[in-house]
Amino acid sequence: MNIGVENAAPRPAPRAGAPAPPAPGGPPSMSSSVWQRLRSVLLMLCSFGLTGLVLANAYYQRQQFYPSVVYITKSNPSMAVIYVQSFVFVILFGKLVRKIFFGQLRAAEVERLVESFWYVFTETGLTFTMFRDDISPNFVVFFTILVFLKIFHWLTEDRVDYMEQSPNITVLFHIRMVSLMIILASVDIQLIAYAYTSTVSKGPSVQLVFAFEYAILLTILTTTAIKYVLHVIDLYGENPWEDKAVFMLYTEVVIGFIKSLLYMIFVFILVRTHTFPVFAFRPMYQTLKSFKRAFNGVLLSRRAIHVMNTCYPNATPEELANTDNVCIICREEMNTNTITKKLPCNHIFHKSCLRSWFQRQQTCPTCRLEVLEAPGQNRTNPAGVNNNNNNNNNANSGNNNNNQGAQQQPRPGQFPMFDPNMFMQGRLPFPMPPFPGVNNVGGQPGRPGAAAPPRPTTTQPSASATTTTGPPGAASMTPPPFFPMPPFFGAPFGVPPPLPPVNFAGLTDDELRAMEGQERQNVEARVRCLRNIQILLDAAVMEMQQYSSVAARLQPGVPSFPTTSTATQSSTTTTSATQSTTSTVSSSSGSVSNVTTSTSSTTYSLLGARPRVVAPNPSLEKEAEAVIAKMDAKTSHERKQEDPAIDPERVLSTLQDELLSSPSTSSASPARNIDSRPSRNEEQDEIRRRRLALFEQQAQKENAEESKKSN
Amino acid sequence: MASTALRRLMAEFKQLSENPPEGLMAGPISDENYFEWEAAITGPQDTVFEDGVFIARLTFPQDYPLNPPKMKFMSKIFHPNIYADGRVCISILHAPGDDPMGYEQSSERWSPVQSVEKVLLSVMSMLAEPNTESPANVDAAKMWRENREDFKKIAHKHVRMTLEEDPPSESRNT
């Protein structure tokens, strides 16, 4: 019954019979091993001696075979001895089988056997109490066979797991395992069939329990066989098999599900026919627990794979060459043959290693940076991390050029059903507003979708960060360029600026018509137009905040980047500049949030206003300041009172006057000395100029409107 | 190809045998199983454990290095951070997320960056400087704080024991 499990602790005779399998790597200290061996041999001899005595006694008393047998079966002490003897035979047979199929048992295997055996022992006791009416020698024999088979199922499972641990797996091992699995499977099936026929012919009895137990054993054996096949494939493959862990996980989930289902059915049937099976409670609980764990594992694993595919770029060969080239998880070299991933903290790992780690911990293994976060939580991160995530989002699209788009394509066997873009969309908690400038590059009148974003102020920066084509992510490792770069290409640091759309399409005729006239709705349309300007300013402020966070992260040693294009103009803005604009916009944000559906179209066509680079002019600065102050006053006034008595017309006209009186600044972009580092003042100038240019653009629109009116 | 864990353990063993750190020795108990190691740690100089050679058993999980190994001293040792049965309680051997009491920062705990060598070095420094704030062996911690002389006596006794008896590894491998 309990083959090979007897070495853990001294146990009462006669069960503590068999000798302990010695610890792997050599026999333990001689004295204890010899004593244990001796003890078991002695006990066995005792049993044999007693049996001999009983037999001799019976034969002496009855002189004939049949009467002796009858005598023994009638006498209780004799039967006890015979039972013990048969027990010893079972143990001996078990040891023989173990020797044939397993050789020596390892310490861990013995430990597990002992542990599981005691559980089975108590559960068997519980079963006996439930079926106490059925107890017969037959019943005991069946249970002995069950426990016997169970032990070998456990051993097979352990041995197959051990395949992963041992560097040298012999042919003998495979022969043993395959033949044992076949034998166990056929025995299981036989016994299930027997239990089935018995239940069908004689009605529900204890055979139900057996049928169920063997069904469970069969699922365990199936798992073992699948694992064995997976291990064999891995063992004899040329390269490490990266997806093996995923397959194992799925096997566990499927088998866990089948087992849970079996337990449910079993409990249901037993409750119907007998009573609640207490003995099935513990294994059922454990099965459900492990099923839940496996299921969670699959979820985490899928999430990890998904995040890696979408968020983190593959490391380029140059990046690999720059580091020491060894994956810290498996301590093996990373080369271009394997897929490697770079985390936001610039640590590089094998993709498969990272995946299995992310299944357990969602941190960078090296620096423990929290890298796998729920999409919505990114905003709470420190600026650096947040920006890095954005960077990697965009870098994905950029990197495809460098890496032959390898990382975007799901590899075979790795959840091709996942759409890599799903995550990108998931990052944005609200719908992305359309950008007319981007969508209508051809210069058609901006006709953006009617759906208004619920909160345009916050949407814009993030939306633009994802919609605009960012700089290639690889650029973050290359030295900053010192020559003129075309716009959209050379921003050498992480965050791509939320660019204003390329092409300004202007207001449509309908919109212009709406603003004509002196009616109240016309005035309102004009006010809305002004509000749109505020939204534009908000976007600009967000953009600048983004830049300032980038600037704060830059190392002092890294040179600032030349400002040549609209893309990089305000990139090196300072915090003071940002603060000044923040004050402006914060006062207007209240009204901005009121923008309704009808105005969204104007909003985005206004957003299309293309800022132009203008020559530095201190007087212009003052102009801009004045305009901003006006805006401030106006908006705060507006917010305070909803009274229609306010004359927006007047505000509008003064604004227009202000704007028109400023000299024309829409000159072409001046050729600047690229190498000279822009000073602080110049940076601020840039921002102001840009802002002013937007106003000017708007003013021109108003102008056109005026002229139309007069016509 | 063998499994990731096995390949990494082999690599670590190779590295450890090529440049063994001072005062440390470690390796698999048998060639058959790389997931059971035995390590010999010498007591750090100028501490109560000086000159002792303590034998410990390292058991690696199947998914090493994603989960930490378990470490247990086979030699008798009296130390605030070692349970009476020899199990070592040190933060580097705890998987992050294991500590419900929040005693340890996650940065001190196991990650795949750690290795057998780092674990053994940490244990060595733990021998030199016990952490009595969350002791595994409360008696030892109390004695260490309140009665250093008695602690020294017990430690010396155990050091002598490690030197007198054959290291378990030798008797096992012969």
Please give the structure tokens belonging to residue B10.
Answer: 């082999």
pLDDT at B132: 82
DSSP string, A372-394: ---GGGGGGS-HHHHHHHHHHHH
Cβ within 8 Å, pair A25-B29 = yes
| Cβ-based contacts of B7 with chain A (< 8 Å) | 240, 330, 332
What is the predicted ipTM?
0.81
Please give the structure tokens belonging to residue A86.
Answer: 């048969």
Cβ within 8 Å, pair B7-A24 = no
Taking 60 as the threshold, does the pLDDT of residue A697 lie above it? yes
| Cβ-based contacts of A164 with chain B (< 8 Å) | 2-3, 5-6, 62
Determine the Cα–Cα distance for residues B97 and B109; give it in Å rounded to an integer.
9
Q: How far is CA A705 from CA A509, A527, A599, A641, A702, in A?
A: 10, 14, 18, 28, 5
pLDDT at A503: 44
| Torsion angles phi and psi, residue A48, rounded to 5 | -60, -40
Cβ within 8 Å, pair B113-A365 = yes
Residue A366: which of B29, B33, B113 has the nearest Cβ? Answer: B113
- A1: nearest Cα among A169, A144, A210: A144
Determine the Cα–Cα distance for residues A225 and A221; give it in Å rounded to an integer.
6
pLDDT at B120: 92
Mean pLDDT of A476-497: 41
Q: Are the C-beta atoms of residues A421 and A432 closer than 8 Å to each other?
A: no
pLDDT at A326: 81
Chain B interface with A: residues with Cβ < 8 Å: 1-8, 10-12, 29-36, 62-63, 65-67, 95-97, 106-107, 111-113, 171-174
Residue B1: which of A25, A166, A237 has the nearest Cβ? Answer: A237
Q: Are the C-beta atoms of residues B32 and B51 closer than 8 Å to each other?
A: no
Confidence of residue A696 (pLDDT cuts 50, 70, 90): confident
**Chain A, nearest residue to B105 by Cα:** A368
- Using CA of residue A244, residue A250, residue A251, residue A253, what is the dihedral sign? positive
Cβ within 8 Å, pair B30-A357 = no
Taking 50 as the threshold, does the pLDDT of residue A553 lie above it? yes
pLDDT at A634: 56
- Rounded to a whole number, what is the distance in Å from the CA of A103 to chain B's nearest CA? 13
**Chain A, nearest residue to B6 by Cα:** A165
pLDDT at A289: 93
Taking 60 as the threshold, does the pLDDT of residue B25 lie above it? yes
Confidence of residue A188 (pLDDT cuts 50, 70, 90): very high
Q: Pick A155 or A634 by higher pLDDT.
A: A155
| Catalytic positions of B | 89
Determine the Cα–Cα distance for residues B88 and B82; give it in Å rounded to an integer.
5
Residue B65: which of A26, A167, A329 has the nearest Cβ? Answer: A329
Q: Does A23 touch chain B (CB under 8 A)?
A: yes
Confidence of residue A606 (pLDDT cuts 50, 70, 90): very low
DSSP conformational letter for A274:
S
Confidence of residue B100 (pLDDT cuts 50, 70, 90): low
| Torsion angles phi and psi, residue A349, rounded to 5 | -140, 165
**Chain B, nearest residue to A240 by Cα:** B1
Determine the Cα–Cα distance for residues A377 and A359; give it in Å rounded to an integer.
19
Q: For testing the chain B interface, which of A30, A159, A166, A227 should be mutated: the one with the most B CBs within 10 Å?
A: A166
Q: Are the C-beta atoms of residues A153 and A217 closer than 8 Å to each other?
A: yes
| Cβ-based contacts of B10 with chain A (< 8 Å) | 167
Residue B34: which of A28, A161, A167 has the nearest Cβ? Answer: A167
- Of the segments A329-333, A375-379, A416-420, B60-64, which one has the largest average pLDDT value? B60-64
Residue A287 identity (one-letter amino acid): T
Cβ within 8 Å, pair A365-B112 = yes
pLDDT at A7: 38
- Using CA of residue A615, residue A619, residue A620, residue A621, what is the dihedral sign? positive
| Cβ-based contacts of B4 with chain A (< 8 Å) | 240, 330, 353, 356
- Of the segments A243-247, A395-399, A474-478, which one has the largest average pLDDT value? A243-247
Confidence of residue A507 (pLDDT cuts 50, 70, 90): low
Please give the structure tokens belonging to residue B13.
Answer: 């063993």
Block residue for tokens 């698999």: B28
Residue extents of the structural domains in chain A: 312-360
Taking 90 as the threshold, does the pLDDT of residue A417 lie above it? no
Determine the Cα–Cα distance for residues A411 and A416; give it in Å rounded to an integer.
7
| Cβ-based contacts of B36 with chain A (< 8 Å) | 24, 107
DSSP string, B86-151: SBB--GGGSPTT--TT--S-GGGS--TT--HHHHHHHHHHHHHS---SS-SSHHHHHHHHH-HHHH
**Mean pLDDT over the full length of chain A:** 67
Cα of first residue to Cα of last residue in chain A, in angstroms, is 107
Looking at B45-49, B101-105, B165-169, which range is the least confident one? Answer: B165-169
Taking 60 as the threshold, does the pLDDT of residue A360 lie above it? yes
Report pTM. 0.56
Residue A361: which of B3, B33, B96 has the nearest Cβ? Answer: B96
pLDDT at A452: 38
- Rounded to a whole number, what is the distance in Å from the CA of A436 to chain B's nearest CA? 48
| Cβ-based contacts of B8 with chain A (< 8 Å) | 330-332
Q: How many CB pairs under 8 A join A and B?
A: 98
| Cβ-based contacts of A106 with chain B (< 8 Å) | 33
Residue B173: which of A25, A329, A363 has the nearest Cβ? Answer: A25
- Taking residue A230's Cβ as centre, other Cβ atoms within 10 Å add up to 20
Taking 90 as the threshold, does the pLDDT of residue A193 lie above it? yes
Cβ within 8 Å, pair B172-A23 = yes
Q: Which H, E and C letters describe A32-89, residue by residue?
A: HHHHHHHHHHHHHHHHHHHHHHHHHHHHHHHCCHHHHHHHHHHCHHHHHHHHHHHHHH
Q: Pick A690 or A615 by higher pLDDT.
A: A690
Residue A164: which of B12, B32, B62 has the nearest Cβ? Answer: B62
DSSP string, A518-552: SSHHHHHHHHHHHHHHHHHHHHHHHHHHHHHHHHH
Cβ within 8 Å, pair B106-A363 = yes
Confidence of residue A184 (pLDDT cuts 50, 70, 90): very high
| Torsion angles phi and psi, residue B35, rounded to 5 | -100, 5
Mean pLDDT of A607-616: 41
pLDDT at A400: 37
Taking 90 as the threshold, does the pLDDT of residue A181 lie above it? yes
* Cis bond before residue A14 (omega within 30° of 0): yes
| Cβ-based contacts of A370 with chain B (< 8 Å) | none
Residue B11: which of A24, A234, A331 has the nearest Cβ? Answer: A331
Block residue for tokens 């395959």: A178
| Model confidence pLDDT, tens digit, residues B31-70 | 878 888 999 998 888 888 888 899 999 999 888 888 899 9
Confidence of residue A660 (pLDDT cuts 50, 70, 90): low
Taking 60 as the threshold, does the pLDDT of residue B129 lie above it? yes
Cβ within 8 Å, pair A29-B171 = yes
Partner B, chain A 200-259, Cβ-Cβ below 8 Å:
234-235, 237-241
Taking 50 as the threshold, does the pLDDT of residue A265 lie above it? yes
Taking 50 as the threshold, does the pLDDT of residue A582 lie above it? no
Residue B3: which of A234, A329, A368 has the nearest Cβ? Answer: A234
Q: Does A297 touch chain B (CB under 8 A)?
A: no
Q: What CATH number has the domain spanning B2-165?
A: 3.10.110.10
Helices then strands, counting H and E runs in chain A, come out as 22, 4
| Cβ-based contacts of B11 with chain A (< 8 Å) | 331-332
Cβ within 8 Å, pair A167-B6 = yes
Block residue for tokens 């309908």: A510
Cβ within 8 Å, pair A235-B36 = no
| Cβ-based contacts of A25 with chain B (< 8 Å) | 29-30, 32-33, 172-173
Q: What CATH number has the domain spanning A312-360?
A: 3.30.40.10
Residue A618 identity (one-letter amino acid): P
Reported residue count of chain B is: 174
Q: For testing the chain B interface, which of A109, A165, A370, A371 should be mutated: the one with the most B CBs within 10 Å?
A: A165
Block residue for tokens 């048998």: B30
Q: Does A691 touch chain B (CB under 8 A)?
A: no
- Rounded to a whole number, what is the distance in Å from the CA of B27 to chain A's nearest CA? 13
Residue extents of the structural domains in chain B: 2-165
| Model confidence pLDDT, tens digit, residues A57-111 | 888 888 888 888 888 888 888 888 888 899 899 999 999 999 988 888 887 788 8
- Rounded to a whole number, what is the distance in Å from the CA of A229 to chain B's nearest CA? 14
